[in-house]
Structure 1
Amino acid sequence: MEDQPEEVLRFMDAVKALRAIEDDAACARAISNALKYWGDNSGTLREIRQERVQRLRDQGMTWQEIGDVMGVHFTRAQQIAKGFRGSKRPKKEAEEKSAE
């Protein structure tokens, strides 16, 4: 694994610790409890990332530089700055009208 911030390493260690729980019921219960909080925090993580990408852009970084720093394609960096969520992008007006 490439150089990761301490927070990422602690997260990965927590996932490994969950996997290491020997009792199947206890493991499933612990993971279910963790997932309850994941949903609440995933949106917060996306918001923080979007804000930081926008700040990098405001500091004069190119989309290519931002993508390189993040390990994503430059077009994905642009999408993140706009708040797009991968395949769950906001619907375009045409798509919304055809769905009606």
Structure 2
Amino acid sequence: MAATGGSVRRILFLKVTLPSADPAYVRSVVQATAPFYGLLGGTSTRLLRNVDDPAQFIQEIAYETPEAMEMSRQRIAGDLRIQSFLQAWRQVLGGAVQLDVYEDLTAEW
């Protein structure tokens, strides 16, 4: 998506596979980590579960970030606040967390 007002919109996907597929537990974890969304400039969030493999979950967080910050995302990845966020996910969920960042191209159609 094109930059607007010096910011860019991104969509962060946190992917995790859990030994227990209890969606109520995963929802409670997402709610408990909600304060961290503000660190990302979170504007919306969704929790998705794979219908073919109910142990797989994706948390989607849409956010806006200044262009300058996006340009140095590698530096941000080392930010202790973000690392704390990911560590909390790993500890609470007991699994590896894969993190992917996407750009929404839908508006460009």
Higher relative contact order (CA 8 A, sep 6+): 2
Higher Cα Rg, which structure: 1
* TM-score category, normalised to shorter length: under 0.3
TM-score, structure 2 normalization = 0.26
Specify which structure has the higher proportion of strand: 2
TM-score, structure 1 normalization = 0.27
